[in-house]
Structure 1
Amino acid sequence: MLVAVVSVKGSPGVTTFSVALAARWPAPSRTLLVEADPSGGDIGIRFWLEATPGLVSLAAAARHSEDPTLPWQHTQALPGGLPVVTAPPDADRARAALSALTSEPRGVLRAAANALDATVIVDCGRLDPGSVAAPIVRAADAMILLTRAHADDLAHLARRLPVLGRWTQHPAMMLVGEGYSPTEITRELGVSPLGRIPDDPRGAAVLCGRPGACSSRSGPARSRLGQAAHKVANLLLAAHAPSEAPVPQQGPAEQHPVPILRAVPGVPPAPVARGGLRLAPPLPHPQDAPGTGRMP
């Protein structure tokens, strides 16, 4: 299973939550954490890891091999044993490595996630339309979107939902910090948050590698942040478990009323689909698009 963790408008905690999710992913799955933030990595610095192996060495090796075990060969271990592929802190080097890694036709991370009992958690950082991490999100089985719950953040998110709807069929939202309630956000955006990341400074400090932060009550298994990540992991596994029950057939979308969103300042009054994502505007016909000729 391949899970991408992203943010919009620089919502904090993507790396910390990615570490928590990977550390608390249920057994017996082998879990790998990959840092794929185009703005540069933090994990290596936080935990005093070596500069290599990591994302740069993995990208170089992927040019010559499609071995699904390749990402595991470029990991370092976090305290507790979690294997991680770290990104360089320099943004230019991180983007160059990601560009090389995502240019492979099959995708080495996708191949690793296809292996039996393997889960790959990828920290993709802030998700912009031109992000070099976008191919990873498109290939993922699930995407976890972290967002603040204030009006300005929701307004930015509302404008991104049509794009995200084209990138992934399995989005999940987690709220960060105070603001609008999950009920209000469900009503306004048509997307039901999985929950809210708890304010857990001690648990976050452990997951950030801060000296002296570890204790029996703040470790990933006992902290509020770790417990929330474990619940999210179980929800994702349940959502992607094979089901023998037949899927009910839905009628055409236009037969069902869709809400018009007006209450959150800055959120445009556009309809949302029954699946929870805002409907994207129709693409222009090639003959109607300016500067284009007839289709061959």
Structure 2
Amino acid sequence: MLIALASVKASPGVTTFALALAASWPANVRRVVVECDPAGGDLAQRFGLAASPGLLSLAAVARQPVDPDVVWSHAQPLPGGIEVIPGPSGGHQARAALSTLTSAASPLYGIARRPTAAMFADCGRLDPGSSAEAVIRHADVLLLISGTYSDELAHLATRVHELGRMATRACLVLAGRGHPTHEVERELGIPVMARIPYDPGAAEHHTGRAAPGRRRTGGLARVASVVARTLSGETPCESSPSVPAQAPTFVQQVPGIPAQPTAASGVRVLPPPAPHNGHSHATASGKDIRS
């Protein structure tokens, strides 16, 4: 499975949530976080990793057709069973590597298609024409992460429908403090899949700054766990009759998480897209993430 994570403005915690999601994924699946950020990666600096292997070394061997299993030899381990393929710090090198690794024959896609693997592509900020757009087109799910202050939402509103059309299945994830979730849903006319609470203590575990022995707890871990169980199929979605009136009618909800009002750590889940029939998936407000 290939899950792409990206933002359209600032740094709402894409890399942090990618690591938290991978850490929460079922342990019987081999998990790898790949830094596909065209602006350059942070993981090597955060965790004191070696410069190689990583995205550059993988791109070098992938210029020729290779077996997808070559991906694993270019990953480095983090504590907890996650593997990462760190990107170079420089944007020029990162974009050069992505030009090779985002082609249709990429070994990354070959690994992601296997039921025994889960790949989390940290695509960073998606500027128009980003070299990470090809990853999103191949992804099973796009988690579009946004802050909820007015300036961040203004940028999101200009691109959310475009990016929704680009992805097979697009889900909006809000992060941190700012406007309430129900207001964002009402203004954009699309459902929110999850709200990541402001949780700097738990985030330290995914930035390489946590004190030794400190436990990874808090709202970030709880939200990542519920999203992981849902996307991996461990927790089936169930329709909820208590979805607020202003929310789209096809919103579904994870059992046990209240829908009214949406809590900071509440999770709602979009169903898989219906077979294409030439019509958009209309919401209660007449808008859609794909329209």
Q: TM-score, normalised by structure 1?
A: 0.79
Aligned residue number for residue 225 of structure 1:
220
Residue in 2 aligned with 1:125?
Answer: 124
Identity %: 44
For 2:280 and 2:2, the matched residues in 1 are separated by 33
Contact 2:65 2:105 in 1 (8 A): no
Q: How far is the alpha carbon of 1:240 from its aligned partner?
A: 11
Q: What amino acid is aligned across from residue 20 of structure 2 in structure 1? A: A
What is the count of residue pairs matched by the alignment? Answer: 256
Post-superposition Cα deviations, 1:198-223, rounded to whole Å, max 9, x if no partner, equal: 2222211121111x524343x2xx34
TM-score (norm 2): 0.80
**How far off is 1:66 after superposition?**
3.2
Of 230, 236, 239 in structure 1, the residue corresponding to residue 231 of structure 2 is 236
Residues 239 and 165 of structure 1, relative CA distance in 2, 3 Å threshold: farther
Give the match for residue 213 of structure 2: 215
After superposition, the Cα gap between the structure-2 partners of 1:117 and 1:157, relative to the gap in structure 1 and judged at 3 Å, is: same
Q: Which runs of 5+ in 1 are unaligned?
A: 242-246, 260-270, 280-296
Q: 1:6 to 1:251 in 2, by over 3 A?
A: closer
Q: Distance in 1 between matches of 2:99 and 2:274?
A: 40
Q: Distance in 1 between matches of 2:174 and 2:218?
A: 18
Runs of 4+ in 1 over 4 A off after TM superposition: 247-258
Once the two structures are superposed, residues 109-144 of structure 1 have per-residue CA deviations (whole angstroms, 9 ceiling, x without a partner) of 111111132100010000122101110011000001
What letter corresponds to residue 222 of structure 2 in structure 1? Q
1:75 corresponds in structure 2 to: 75
- The aligned runs of 1:7-22 (5 Å cut-off) are 7-22=7-22
Tell which structure's C-alpha radius of gyration is larger.
1
Q: 1:116 to 1:124 in 2, by over 3 A?
A: same
- Mapped contact 2:38–2:94 kept (Cα < 8 A): yes
Residues 3 and 120, structure 1, Cα contact 8 Å, conserved in 2? yes
In structure 1, distance between residues paired with 2:170 and 2:80: 29
Q: Distance in 2 between matches of 1:248 and 1:114?
A: 21
| Aligned AA (2:17) | F
- Judge which range, 28-37 or 248-257, deviates more: 248-257
SS at match of 1:49: coil
1:258 CA drift (Å): 5.9
- Structure 1 residues 66 and 240, CA, compared in 2 at 3 Å: closer, same or farther? farther
Cα deviation digits, residues 170-213 of structure 1 (max 9, x gap):
11111112222221222221221122112222211121111x52
Unaligned ranges ≥5, structure 2: 237-272
In the TM superposition, what is the alpha-carbon distance from 1:64 to its structure 2 partner? Answer: 2.0
Cα deviation, residue 164, structure 1: 0.8
Partner residue in 2 for 1:277: 289
Paired residue for 1:37? 37
The amino acid of 2:225's aligned partner reads H
Read off the aligned partner of 1:161 and give its amino acid letter. Answer: V
Which region of structure 1 is more displaced relative to structure 2, 3-12 or 186-195?
186-195
